[in-house]
Amino acid sequence: MLTNIVRGGQKVILRLEDILNKIFSSEQNILYYHGAMPNFFMWMLFLSGLLLFAYYTPTLEAAYQSVEYITKKLPYGDVIRGIHRYAADAMYLTVILHAIRVYFTDRYREYRIIAWYSGIALSIFMLVIGISGYILVWDQRSLTIVNKFAEFLAALPFIGETLSHGFINGDVISNYTMSMSFFLHTGTSFALLILLWVHYMRISRPVVNVTWAIGSLLAGMVLVVAGALPALSGEEANFNAMLPSIPLEQVDWFYLWLFPLIDTVGNYGAWAALILGLVVVTLLPNFVKSEDSEPASVNKDSCVGCRLCSIDCPYEAIYMAPRNDGSKYKELAVVINDRCAECGLCVGACNFDAIELPTYRSTEVMDDIRIALLQD
Amino acid sequence: MAEDVINAEETEDKKPKSKDEVRVAVIACERSVNLEGELNQTKLNGVDNCDVIQVPCSGMIQPRMIESAFKAGADGVIAMGCQIGDCHFREGNKFCRERLLGLRPPMIKKTVPKNRLQGYWMSEVQVEEFKARIEEFKIHVADELLNEAAEG
Ligand code: HEM
Ligand code: SF4
Ligand code: SF4
ipTM: 0.90
Looking at the domain assignment, is residue B45 inside a domain? yes
Predicted pLDDT at B8: 44
Cβ of B72 and A369 within 8 Å? yes
The partner residues of A297 in beta bridges, in order of sequence, read: A356
A49-81 pLDDT, tens per residue?
999 999 999 999 999 999 999 999 999 999 999
Residue to mutate (ligand 2; options A307, A335, A365; most atoms within 8 A of CB): A335
Distance CA A223, CA A73 (A): 19
Q: Judge whether B13 lies within some domain.
A: no
Q: Residue A238: what are its φ and ψ, rounded to 5°?
A: -135, 110
CB contact under 8 A, A372 and B51: yes
Contact A232, A71 (CB under 8 A): yes
State whether residue B28 is helix, strand or coil: strand
pTM given for the model: 0.92
In a domain, B1, yes or no: no
One-letter amino acid for residue B39 of the chain: L
Range of the domain at B83: 22-151
Domain count, chain B: 1
Contact B62 A348 (CB under 8 A): yes
Residue nearest to atom 6 of ligand 2 (CA): A340
**Residue B81 sits at the chain A interface (C-beta within 8 Å):** no
Give me the helices (H) in A171-304, please: 175-199, 212-228, 258-283
pLDDT per position as a tens digit, B102-145: 999 999 999 999 999 999 999 999 999 999 999 999 999 999 99
Domains of chain A: 34-287 (1.20.810.10), 297-374 (3.30.70.3270)
Stretch (H or E) spanning B52: strand B50-55
Cβ of A316 below 6 Å from ligand 2? no
Identify which of A102, A84, A100, A89 has the alpha carbon closest to the alpha carbon of residue A43. A84
Interface test with B, best of A343, A352, A359 (most B CBs within 10 A): A343
| B118 lies in some domain | yes
A216: buried, middle or exposed (CB in 10 Å: 19+, 13-18, 0-12)? exposed
CA–CA distance, A91 with A107 (Å, rounded to integer): 21
Of the candidates B69, B2, B72, B26, the residue with the CA atom closest to the CA atom of residue A374: B72
Q: Is residue B28 part of a domain?
A: yes
Q: What is the mean pLDDT of chain A?
A: 95
Average pLDDT over residues A348-370: 95
* Cα of A199 from ligand 1 centre, angstroms: 7
Quick: pLDDT tens for A124-148: 999 999 999 999 999 999 999 999 9
Positions in chain B short of pLDDT 50: 1-11
